[in-house]
Every structure is written in C-alpha cells, then in structure tokens.
Amino acid sequence: MAGGTARGRLQVGVSACLLGQRVRWDGTHRRDRFVTDVLGRWVEWIPVCPEVEVGLGVPRTPVRLQGHPAAPRLVAHETGADHTEAMRRFARARVGALARRGLAGWVLKRGSPSCGMARVRVYGPGGAPTRDGTGLFARALAERLPLLPLEEESGLGNPARRESFVVRLLAHARWLDLVAGRPTGAALGRFHAAHELLLLAHDPAAWTRLGRIAARAGRRPRRAALEAYGAAFMGVLRTPATRRGHARALARVLRRLADKLTPAEHRRLAALITAYRRGRVPLDAPLAVARRHARRLGVARLAGQVYLDPHRGAPV
C-alpha cells in the first residue's frame, strides 16, 4: 500500500501514551503536545502500546530489560515474570500486519523497555543498569522495516532532528508510493532525478552512487533494484544535511538560474546563500527566493526538484 502522499495524510505509528492514552504501568500517560497538537494535524496516527496489547494490563507491574544489551529479557521487576517470548511473538505479528499498511514512520517513547530506540536501561546480573538497550518492540520495528523513519518524542524537541524526521517521513512516503506503482526503470530514474538536490545536500557522493543503481535497474530484476535503491536512499537521509551541504545544493540552484536572472537578482540570491552559509539567516531565506525564481522562470533542470519544496504540507 502507498505511503500516503498521493492520497492525503501520512500514516505514522506512535507509542499510544504519547497521544495521552492512559496505558502506562501506573495508569498515567505521557502526552506530548508537539506530537498531538502539531504533527497530529498533519498525520494519521496508528497508536500501539505493546505492553497493553501483549496482555499485561493497566495498572501492571513495571517491566524492565535484563541481561545482555544485545539480547535482553523483558522481566517484571517485582515478580520476576518473564514476558520476553510473548513480546517477541506479539511484535513479529503486529509489525508484520503494520508493514502492509504502508507506514511512513514511527514516533517512539524514549526509555521504554518496549518502545525505546536507544539508551534504554538494561539491568545486569549485579543489578546495576547500563544505557545500552533497545526496547523489544522498537527492535522488531527496525528489523522488519529497516527503511522506516524512527524517532523518539524527545528527539522531536530538537529542531535539527525534528526537521530530519519530517524530511525522512515525506521521502519514505514518496518511495512507498513509487514502489506501489510497480515502477519501470524509467520511473525510478525520474524519482532519482527529482531528488538530486536533496541528496546533494546530504552527501555529495550519494547522487552518483544512487544514479548507478537507477541506471542498472532495467538490467536487473525489479525487486533487487528497488531494494538496493531504497536502502541506499533512506540510508543517506538518516544523516541530517549540514549547513555546508545545504549551501552546496543552493549553489547548484544558483548556477542553473544564472543565465535567466537579472544581475541584481543574481547578486541578491548569491548574498543570501553566503549569509546562510555563515549562519546569519535561516535556510528558508535563500530557499524561498530560489523556489520563487525557479517557478517564475520555468527552469527545466529545477522543475520537480523536491529540495526546493521539501516540507510541502509539513509542520516545520
């Protein structure tokens, strides 16, 4: 199923407690206002509380991770009841069903023994915890859906991580829409072309690497080509674009506009790009001017570039 860009709001998974559902062990919630009040106006949430859905109930004895961080057990702290296998079975089945819905991404609860992405407490034999763990449900998500953008609610409080997550959500949704249409090699090539500047902002070598995959798509089985491209494409976007990377992409935009701009327009856009590179103005200052010029002048090599309008409809 497509990821949602062609048919409306993106479907995004979320730890149910972040929506204000009273599903925590003590009957409380951890409502996050950015999740509910900002992202919630733009996405369709798919809430999951693994601990409730596996049958632990509310209220319940709190659980924690014990053992080795690479393969911890999920154990009730007070009673010692081991819920590891039940959680693993549930996670495999639930994530498998969710995979067919074409999720664009997932927002997870930081520190949760079921939902935490990283730095979850794992208690060793001596009782002292380390922060090396991953929640069992979050681990299942990452293993079953390796392209799926994941973020914790705490990460969304950081502007750079928030923007990175939204860019990845939209990119992943576009990718799912492409794959759902059983694309030809030519369609993959058009997708690649539309993301040229976005890839350049993240990794200058990625455009070439991914271009080779796209170029060979006609000579390879469709599934193998798509899997290779999708993994590499989403992998590049996991590393947030830097100021230097954005300035590099904007400089390419300026070169493509150069012969159509008046000298005054060229100087103004060049000055905005320099000011952005030096940290004096936000990215949207040169980006908005470049976007306006590209649309007004109808520059073919900028038409359809995702980079010029990366957050269309997004709350950033």
Residues 225 and 104 in one domain: no
Q: Rounded CA gap, 197 and 294, in Å?
A: 13
Q: Rounded CA gap, 179 and 226, in Å?
A: 8
Residues 91 and 225 in one domain: no
DSSP 306: G
Q: What is the pTM of this model?
A: 0.91
Instruction: Please say if the pLDDT value at position 315 is more than 70.
Output: no
Instruction: Please say if the pLDDT value at position 5 is more than 60.
Output: no
Residues 254 and 153 in one domain: no
Residues 230 and 247 in one domain: no
Using a pLDDT cut of 90, give the percent of the chain over it.
84
Residues 203 and 253 in one domain: no
Instruction: Please say if the pLDDT value at position 313 is more than 80.
Output: no
- Amino acid present at 75: V
Q: What is the pLDDT of residue 312?
A: 63
pLDDT digits (tens, 9 = 90+) for 235-266: 999 999 999 999 999 999 999 999 999 999 99
Residues 102 and 47 in one domain: yes
Tell me what the pLDDT averaged over the chain comes to.
92
End residue of a domain, out of 204, 223, 238? 238
pLDDT digits (tens, 9 = 90+) for 280-305: 999 999 999 999 999 999 999 998 99
Q: Rounded CA gap, 266 and 231, in Å?
A: 38
Residues 15 and 88 in one domain: yes
pLDDT digits (tens, 9 = 90+) for 176-203: 999 998 888 889 999 999 999 999 999 9
pLDDT digits (tens, 9 = 90+) for 78-98: 899 999 999 999 999 999 999
Q: What is the pLDDT of residue 314?
A: 55
Instruction: Please say if the pLDDT value at position 220 is more than 80.
Output: no
Whether 111 is covered by a domain: the verdict is yes
Over residues 262-284, mean pLDDT = 97
Whether 165 is covered by a domain: the verdict is no
Domain hosting 221: range is 182-238
Whether 315 is covered by a domain: the verdict is no
Tokens of 153: 């609610």
Q: Any idea what the CATH number is for the domain that residue 106 is in?
A: 3.40.50
Whether 170 is covered by a domain: the verdict is no
Residues 260 and 302 in one domain: yes
